[in-house]
Amino acid sequence: MRSFVLRRVKAKLYHVLMGEEKCTLDLAFDFIPLSYDWVLKRLEGVERRIENLLGLGVSITLALPVAARVVTHGEGLHLTQYLISPLVPVIVVLFVSGTGLGLYARQLRRVSLPSPGALHDSYLDLSPDSFRRTMLKYAAVHYTKNAQLLRDKSSYADMIGILYGLELLFGILWVLFL
């Protein structure tokens, strides 16, 4: 169904761009579900990326002591010898920062969508053209908010990746210089 609507809208848009047709309210109205669908898919991808980065951060943090044990060939290093390294607090701070930022990014604002209750209470008595114009206006506002949410979450995901990359770098240095 979605691909059929997308093909139909693309075909109409092509004719509008070529000057063969005028943009109509119906054509603009057809873009509303597609814009919500696009934003939701992109947000889903960013959410997955944040989840994967959080899993990676935990894996890195748990793998560092194991790697240290392997590198030292199990020569009986005690916990105090692991912890006295000046790199350990840096690694812990990077892990906590990345994890905290990831959890914050997950709880960030929610997607803006039209409220069915508001549609029922306020807009059912409008004429079809007035209803379409109103929904088009609200879809534009929601699209702007959702695009900003997408940019924010993507930026947080990038920062989380950098923090965990630094954690891995300092972890490798810590393991090599034990």
Which pLDDT tens digit goes with each residue over 52-93?
A: 999 999 999 999 888 887 877 766 556 666 667 788 899 999
**Cα 146 to Cα 43, 66, 108, 139, 143, distances in angstroms:** 9, 42, 12, 10, 5
Is there a domain that residue 9 lies in? no
Average pLDDT over every residue of 130-149: 87
Query: Which pLDDT score, from 0 to 100, does residue 56 have?
Result: 94
Is there a domain that residue 12 lies in? no
On the question of pLDDT at 115 being above 90, the answer is no
Query: Which pLDDT score, from 0 to 100, does residue 164 have?
Result: 96
* More confident site: 157 or 8: 157
Query: Which pLDDT score, from 0 to 100, does residue 10 have?
Result: 60
Is there a domain that residue 31 lies in? no
Residues of the domain holding 119:
39-176
* More confident site: 56 or 115: 56
Query: Which pLDDT score, from 0 to 100, does residue 93 have?
Result: 95
On the question of pLDDT at 153 being above 90, the answer is yes
Query: Which pLDDT score, from 0 to 100, does residue 87 have?
Result: 86
Query: Which pLDDT score, from 0 to 100, does residue 129 have?
Result: 82
Query: Which pLDDT score, from 0 to 100, does residue 4 have?
Result: 56
Is there a domain that residue 21 lies in? no
On the question of pLDDT at 2 being above 60, the answer is no
Is there a domain that residue 14 lies in? no
> Residue 1 — very low, low, confident or very high, per pLDDT cuts 50/70/90?
very low
Is there a domain that residue 79 lies in? yes
Is there a domain that residue 26 lies in? no
SS3 12: helix
How many domains does the chain fold into?
Answer: 1
Q: By percentage, how much of the chain surpasses pLDDT 90? A: 38
Report long-range pairs for 109-114 (Cβ below 8 Å, ≥24 apart): 109/145, 109/149, 109/152, 111/39, 111/40, 111/43, 111/146, 111/149, 112/141, 112/142, 112/145, 112/146, 112/149, 113/36, 113/142, 114/138, 114/139, 114/142
Is there a domain that residue 123 lies in? yes
> Residue 95 — very low, low, confident or very high, per pLDDT cuts 50/70/90?
very high
Q: Which of 125, 121, 123 is nearest to 136 (CA)?
A: 123
